[in-house]
Amino acid sequence: MHYRSLGRTGWQISEISFGAWAIGGSWGEVDDRESMAALHQAVDCGVNFIDTADVYGMGRSERLIAQLKRERREEIIVATKAGRRLHAQTVDGYTRENLTA
């Protein structure tokens, strides 16, 4: 696997990332065991950068990625998008503090 620097963060991220849209299950039935197997295989192959969003299965992909991070010792960098489900009463919750893990 080849890696590149991510801006000025000092992080080295894999040139190939894991796109977690499909494991959210929005496009059909998805088996969480198969999703976890795919995530583990990606990390086994050197992938350390995962892309997801709060709307991928209404947080399902983010929960699976959180499980992966608990199960693996490798550093895994997650980029998630937020704010596609904005409601007037929740806009205040979309702060840098709340969105940074």
* Domain edges within the chain: 3-99
Over residues 28-40, the pLDDT tens digits come to 899 999 999 999 9
Determine the pLDDT at residue 75. Answer: 94
CA distance 73 to 68: 9
- What percent of the chain has a predicted confidence (pLDDT) above 90? 65
Active site residues: 56
Residue 81 has pLDDT above 80, yes or no: yes
92 band by pLDDT with thresholds 50, 70 and 90 = low
Strand partners of residue 83: none
Tokens of 76: 């895994």
The single-letter code of the amino acid at 26 is: S
